[in-house]
Structure 1
Amino acid sequence: MTHKVITSLIPNYQNLKDSKVFLGLALLSVALRFPFFFRDYIDRDESTFILMAQSWVEGHLPYTQLWDLKPPLVFLFFSAIIYFFGKSFIAIRLFGALAVAVISFFTYKAGKEVHSSRTGFWPAIGCVYLLSLFGSVQGVMSEHLSMLLFVPALFFLLKFKKKRGYFLAGIFFGLSLMMKLNLAYALLGVFIWVMTRSQQERRLHLGIERTILMGTGVLLAIVATFLPYLLAGIPEVWVDSVIKAPLAYSTDQQNSVFKVLPLAGVLIVLGIACWKKKWIDFSEPKVQLLAIVIAGVVFSFLKSGKVNGHYLMQLYPMILILLGIALSNALIYRTKYYPIVLLLTILLPVESYLELTNIVKNKKEHGTYYNGEGFTVPEFIREHHLNQEEILFFEYHIGYWLLGSSPPSKAATHPSNICRPALYPFFKNPRKNALEELQFLLDTLRPKTVVTRKDKPVFDKEYVAEDAYVRGYLSEHYRLEGTVGRAEVFSRLEGQ
């Protein structure tokens, strides 16, 4: 009886309608992510994107008032939401959930185009889970936004053979680059695939035409982000911030390639196994496209020597489609496995269940569903009549947004940028290193209120001198007004 109930939930793949698939993915995405709609911040990057977006809404182009090391379209996504819905965490997180649904839907469409409806359906479900659970992916990250454009572009290449399909794909690829620059390596692979496929078909002239059309679309999208700066008479701001700064950062922050080799090794071993077992036909051009995109993204990780959990979101759609093909050809899709699949879908969202419990508990104890020091610290500052304008957040910097204030310097927009002096020249910071920037922030600007983390270094553990300076300066010139959760709030002593 139970088995019949479970199997009845499995759709008729051949009769799936796009509208119902998207609606189902959207509902699943919102359900998994809803408990996090009320969290102050899930990742520091998300808070920085919001601050940059608010500055844009107030009339300042990105990088002119505040500064961060991300392409401009990341901030445009947040700016549009803030412009229409105001300072709403729920709106930002809701649109983030819809972005996940769109990525997953085009994963379904791409999988269907490469292999079958079933191969598209289950990877799409997997995408919703992997783009919504486990760590900082519960926030709205630049990887979400880049895939929001990159995956549809892949689908256009897989689906449409006419010239306009390549041009449209190029525009979407270009927009995705203006969300996440490391996708340039994957895009290079796509261009190689277009030319190679045309050569195999003995239609090289057509490959050249398609490459030109796609390249034109990419350039148009990039130029569109450059034009506002050109019209404002500050083209160098775009060049320095969008092109030069990321290149300098990748050189300055080079980590060991061995940190990424395990990921590359696992993917290579799995690929070889699937090829030998004939579960995946890598001679199929559409499969080759997915494989070369994966290779390009992994190569970008190898170049930086770094791979965080949220970086992997740039791999999930393509990997899941290939995994779906492998499982289908290995005859793993059998009804006897459906109870296991159902059990996994119920058990995997443990973080969502815990967060839901947390917001209900917070409502009972504090009268609000919103939780986290990003909310409670600004509330503490207001209640104790501390200065809300001359303020410096070393942590929980979403507090600037809630207090209606602004970071005191471009370097302080994202607190970690204070310790990245290699970036200073690209936003015209006259200070030469982190200690000089800290001296400027604390001893020249002399903020009336300072917020840090309790019992934690101000910066990452390798920045010993910088942490010692901040702690020493605070102990001499500031008074601890109170501890709010994991935050410490200081006010400047009179006459200091």
Structure 2
Amino acid sequence: MTAKLSSAPNAICHKSGGNPVKDNGKLQLLSVSTALVLLILLPFSPTIYPVPDRDTGVFLYFGDHILQGAIPYRDMWDHKPPGIFIIYALGQIIGFGTAWGVWLLNVVTLILSVMFCFDLLKKAFSFVAALAGTTVLLIGALLTSIVNTPESYALPLLLAAYYLYFRTTTKKISNKFWFYMGVIFGTLFILKYTLIGIIIAIGLYSLWKKPRQTFRTYILCASFGASLVFSPVLLYLWLTGALSYFWNAALIYNSAYTNLPFTVKLLTLGEGLAKNELVYLVIPLWLLISMAIVFKKLSVEPKVKALVLVCLLDFPLELILTALSGKNFTQYYVSLIPGVALLVGFSTHIFLHRLNPNPLKLPITLILLGALCILPLWGWLLLFQLHSNTQQTLMEGVAYIKAHSNESDRVLTWGSLPVVNYLAHRESPTRYIYQLPLYTKGYSSKVLFDELQKELDEKKPRLIIDTAGSETNIPPLDPSARENWKSALPEEQKDRNGKIYFYPEEDMLSLFDFIDSHYRRVRSVGPNNWVIYELIDILEN
């Protein structure tokens, strides 16, 4: 059986002005994609979902303060690559200082993802296959919480790599293609280091198919493309004096953060895959299609075979890269989505192609269209699940800050929620806008706590918001609450002497004493009982 590509003949062709039928089809695809994505992402818009999650809060704070002249890494600590901060700064410009700009950028990237996916699968397979793959793409986006994360902005780039590769398989791969691959590689790398699997897969497959001498030229072209992305970013960090801070966070911290035993990383990957419904679809398809091609049970056209083989090669690479972090956050599996969509599209095409005449084509098409119509409702259901006590507590804390401080006052958020500072429009007194890095084994040191204490002494915050009621890895500022917190931690987080692995208590005593002597507890807010402290000098005046 040969799975042939379906390509409609150009019924109307003009020497100038392009193809009206083709242009009209693209316009229709854009219109439908835009309407569908808007409906899906509407529940996560700032008006309906006004409280950003933890990571989004960090990025919003970065984007806002970059526009005010702050330098990432030097003035604000984080270990993410710089690409996401560039996007959020752009979003703040587009949204006139609100989260709307970031949300609109997310809408645009998901629209581009849908268009790349549908057009690729339609060209490679068929209309119904494109519907099936695109439906899976959007389901995967919802399952992996693809809203305002580095992975969400990378999704169209992952699909663009597949799209460009498929277009080049019909002709000789040019140096221009590898230049584009280099640009995509560089952009993916500065968004998140582990998103480069598809470029590696294309490179490995091309190395297998092409002479090494030719491949060296390709590497040079790709390197040039990547350098156009890396050079301005590194130059900016160097000129602003932030390069050493960047290396410290990106290399030293990330090495400590991911320094876990291989078995732990493997178990974590398994846990992440087990709770990701897409995996139950992709693994059987990957195995079946791989075996079918290996044992030559499927005979497909060369350009389709090349596309599918790259996809099959990419899947284990994505698993390896995802496992490197030792974490199983749902958004870490976004890089699997393009491959899943492609394999589903290919499987649908093969299945329908075997039935001739095909009585299932119409019902399958109607089912897929119905699924696309239902997807926006799923977004609203997810919205209700996202509501939590932390959100209510956060909004009460922000309201208190606005009522009891001025915009010129600094506020320290003790914990990992600098979104408090962003929503309250209050600057953090320290570059450690969240303190999780201070508790990372292999990175934490007394030098870091002394740096934090020095910043608090020089730029004393008017208020301190202790968010330990919503945290498990952050000790409370109150001494008695801190003792209760230590005793409540599970035994696996302690050594044989009862010492907590991630809690350098001796290094923190001076910092705790400083806060105890300069601040007084004034009240607690919300169901999570965040404790608010105010500067004693302010209270006594």
Structures share fold, TM-score greater than 0.5 = yes
- Equivalent in the alignment of 2:427: 406
Query: Do the aligned partners of 1:29 and 1:97 also contact (CA within 8 Å) in 2?
Result: yes
Q: Displacement, 1:34?
A: 0.9
Query: Do the aligned partners of 1:260 and 1:306 also contact (CA within 8 Å) in 2?
Result: yes
Give, in whole Å, the separation in 2 of the partners of 1:235 and 1:272.
44
- Equivalent in the alignment of 2:118: 108
- Equivalent in the alignment of 2:265: 256
Q: 1:148 to 1:272 in 2, by over 3 A?
A: closer
CA offsets per residue over residues 195-247 of structure 1, 9 Å max, x none?
Answer: 11224xxxx54333223212321233222321213344654344444445434
Aligned AA for 1:194?
S
Q: Displacement, 1:177?
A: 0.8
TM value normalised by structure 2:
0.73
- Equivalent in the alignment of 2:60: 50
- Equivalent in the alignment of 1:225: 233
Query: Do the aligned partners of 1:381 and 1:387 also contact (CA within 8 Å) in 2?
Result: no
Q: 2:166 aligns with which of 158, 173, 176?
A: 158
Query: Do the aligned partners of 2:286 and 2:343 also contact (CA within 8 Å) in 1?
Result: no
Query: Do the aligned partners of 2:185 and 2:199 also contact (CA within 8 Å) in 1?
Result: yes
Give, in whole Å, the separation in 1 of the partners of 2:443 and 2:50.
28
CA offsets per residue over residues 401-421 of structure 1, 9 Å max, x none?
Answer: 23332223223x234333226
1:296 aligns with 2:317: yes
Q: 2:181 aligns with which of 158, 166, 169?
A: 169
Largest Rg, 1 or 2: 2
1:320 aligns with 2:344: no
- Equivalent in the alignment of 2:11: none
Query: Do the aligned partners of 2:405 and 2:462 also contact (CA within 8 Å) in 1?
Result: no
TM value normalised by structure 1:
0.79
1:484 aligns with 2:526: yes
Give, in whole Å, the separation in 1 of the partners of 2:256 and 2:145.
25
Give, in whole Å, the separation in 2 of the partners of 1:466 and 1:348.
47
Q: Displacement, 1:382?
A: 2.0
Q: 2:411 aligns with which of 391, 401, 405?
A: 391
Query: Do the aligned partners of 1:171 and 1:218 also contact (CA within 8 Å) in 2?
Result: yes
Query: Do the aligned partners of 1:388 and 1:403 also contact (CA within 8 Å) in 2?
Result: no
After superposition, residues 45-84 of structure 1 pair within 5 angstroms as 45-84=55-94
Query: Do the aligned partners of 2:398 and 2:424 also contact (CA within 8 Å) in 1?
Result: yes
Alignment gaps of 5+ in structure 1: 1-11, 362-370, 425-429
Query: Do the aligned partners of 1:40 and 1:374 also contact (CA within 8 Å) in 2?
Result: no
CA offsets per residue over residues 337-390 of structure 1, 9 Å max, x none?
Answer: 45544554455555533477899x9xxxxxxxxx85555432222224488723
Q: Displacement, 1:474?
A: 8.2
Query: Do the aligned partners of 1:113 and 1:158 also contact (CA within 8 Å) in 2?
Result: no
Q: 1:353 aligns with which of 380, 383, 390?
A: 380
**Which range moved further: 446-455 or 148-157?**
446-455
Aligned AA for 1:55?
H
Give, in whole Å, the separation in 2 of the partners of 1:165 and 1:213.
9
After superposition, residues 302-313 of structure 1 pair within 5 angstroms as 302-313=323-334
**Which range moved further: 94-103 or 53-62?**
53-62
Query: Do the aligned partners of 1:380 and 1:484 also contact (CA within 8 Å) in 2?
Result: no
CA offsets per residue over residues 238-278 of structure 1, 9 Å max, x none?
Answer: 44444454344322697431222474996554422234466
Q: 1:207 to 1:227 in 2, by over 3 A?
A: same
Q: 1:296 to 1:473 in 2, by over 3 A?
A: same
Give, in whole Å, the separation in 1 of the partners of 2:102 and 2:143.
19
Q: 2:35 aligns with which of 24, 27, 35?
A: 27
Q: 1:193 aligns with which of 191, 205, 215?
A: 205
Query: Do the aligned partners of 2:205 and 2:310 also contact (CA within 8 Å) in 1?
Result: yes
Q: 1:432 to 1:420 in 2, by over 3 A?
A: farther
1:450 aligns with 2:460: no
Query: Do the aligned partners of 1:386 and 1:449 also contact (CA within 8 Å) in 2?
Result: no
Query: Do the aligned partners of 1:256 and 1:305 also contact (CA within 8 Å) in 2?
Result: yes
Alignment gaps of 5+ in structure 2: 1-5, 9-20, 475-488, 494-499
RMSD: 3.9
| Number of residue pairs aligned between Structure 1 and Structure 2 | 462
Query: Do the aligned partners of 2:268 and 2:326 also contact (CA within 8 Å) in 1?
Result: yes
Q: 1:344 to 1:451 in 2, by over 3 A?
A: farther
Aligned AA for 1:217?
G
Aligned AA for 1:83?
I
CA offsets per residue over residues 6-45 of structure 1, 9 Å max, x none?
Answer: xxxxxx9957722321332222111111121122344311
- Equivalent in the alignment of 1:494: 536
After superposition, residues 325-336 of structure 1 pair within 5 angstroms as 325-331=346-352, 334-336=361-363
1:287 aligns with 2:308: yes
Aligned AA for 2:114?
S
Q: Displacement, 1:311?
A: 0.9
- Equivalent in the alignment of 2:18: none
Give, in whole Å, the separation in 2 of the partners of 1:484 and 1:280.
60
